[in-house]
Homo-oligomer: A and B are copies of this chain.
Amino acid sequence: MPTSKTETDAVRLARHNPADLDATDRKILGALAKDATRSYSELSTIVNLSAPAVHDRVKRLKRDGVIKGTVARLDGCKLGRTLLTFLVIDTSSYNATRALLRFADRPEVEEIHTVAGDGCVLVKVRANDTESLENFLMEIQSLEGVRSVRSYIALSTFLERGPLPE
């Protein structure tokens, strides 16, 4: 039995498709992406709506997953993490890729992506110092199926933020 149009649309909507957002939604999202401590009354003046109306929209945006959460942005240096590095890891097997994903629970690991190119993984690491980065690199290089690791050590960070609307 063929899947009906509405069913496929529902699946698509839940998975990948952009939520349909009007200009007001985008304004709210932009404001909250920069500073989520703003009160609904503040937001209401920004978008020319009442506070409860803004509240309803934010609730919907959270329910739909457009807003994935609200988090505190911490200063890596102030936490003692002074060494930001991007690793591009070339793996020869999917096993090795899977092994790399297990590093997700390390507090110094901030991002893990698989990238195009045969079996490449990109990892963003914020280590305390050169020594702990070296230990981390050695751990990775000793994994079965890891062909090579290229390190891009950040000298200065000029911009660092999450996704923005529009």
Contacts and interface: CB of A to CB of B under 8 A. Distances in A.
Interface in A31-45: 32-37
Given A116-B152, A152-B120, A154-B113, A19 B78 contact: yes
A101 interface: yes
B74 A162 contact: yes
Contact of A73 (B68, B152, B155, B158): B68
B116 A35 contact: no
- For this chain, the copies found in one complex come to 2
A56 interface: no
Contact of A37 (B21, B70, B108, B156): B70
Contact of A79 (B18, B34, B84): B18
A53 to B, nearest CB: 18
A71 B38 CA distance: 10
A102 to B, nearest CB: 10
A161 B110 contact: yes
Interface in A1-35: 16-19, 21, 29, 32-35
A70 B115 contact: no
A115 to B, nearest CB: 4
Nearest to A21: B79
Given A33-B72, A72-B69, A75-B163, A158 B116 contact: no
A152 B73 CA distance: 26
A73 B70 contact: yes
17 contacts: A17-B77, A18-B77, A19-B78, A32-B72, A37-B69, A65-B75, A70-B70, A70-B71, A70-B72, A76-B163, A88-B152, A107-B165, A109-B159, A110-B164, A111-B160, A112-B158, A117-B152
